[in-house]
Amino acid sequence: MNNAAILSTTVFSKTIKSLGDIQLRFFDLEKDVQTIYDWVTKPYATYWGMQEYTLEEVKIAYQEIVESNHHDAFIGMLDDQPIFLMERYKASKDPISDYYDAKEGDCGMHILVGPAKKKISNFTWYVFSTIIEYLFTDPRTDRIVVEPDVRNDKIHILNKKAGFKYHKEVDLPHKRAAIAFCEKEDYKKALLSINDKSSAI
């Protein structure tokens, strides 16, 4: 299988009854960089930290990720359209490991949902839960680590809904971040809680 075929191959898919199939594939630098540039430079993506980047600067940043052996990127698709960007990294090999006691099985994650073309109820949760479930398919992943900006209220809500436990706040070079962890059992308990609340309505 050639590189183009590998990049276009779906690595994970989740069917959402009210939405359809959300599919995950590897980021394709040549095909996806313009889309990502359009997303990261919009006002809503302020916490991504690339608002002032040129297209070439975005391309260079993702070239580094594509070529890294401990950091990779994925595109989420729905109805053949890109809907989110997800980055996965080995936390013990990342600068974040300087700020907490990183374990070998820690998997770091960043997520950016594309601008909504129409309002879909629970859309960001569908995206978020798809990512969490994909990351936990890797037997090497014991827990997922996130370090969002402390001001990013929307992502904190999603994290807590998925069962992330907040550890501490740290001052990174580019932001004050909240470090949080989620183990597979934490996520399972969170889903049970969500289902129980839905049943009670």
- Assess contact for 58 and 52: CB atoms under 8 A: no
pLDDT tens string 14-55 = 999 989 999 999 999 999 999 999 999 999 999 999 999 999
pLDDT tens string 74-127 = 999 999 999 999 999 999 999 999 999 999 999 999 999 999 888 888 999 999
- Per-residue burial over 94-131, b = 16 or more CB atoms within 10 Å of its CB, e = otherwise: bebbebbebeebbbbbbbbbbeeeeeeeebbebbbbbb
- CATH number, domain with residue 140: 3.40.630.30
Domain count, the chain: 1
pLDDT tens string 168-195 = 999 999 999 999 999 999 999 999 998 7
How many CB atoms within 10 Å of residue 53?
A: 16
Tell me the average pLDDT across 144-152. Answer: 97
Domain extent at residue 182? 3-200
What value does the mean pLDDT of the chain take?
A: 93
167 vs 154: CA distance, rounded Å: 18
Pair of tokens at residue 133? 């479930």
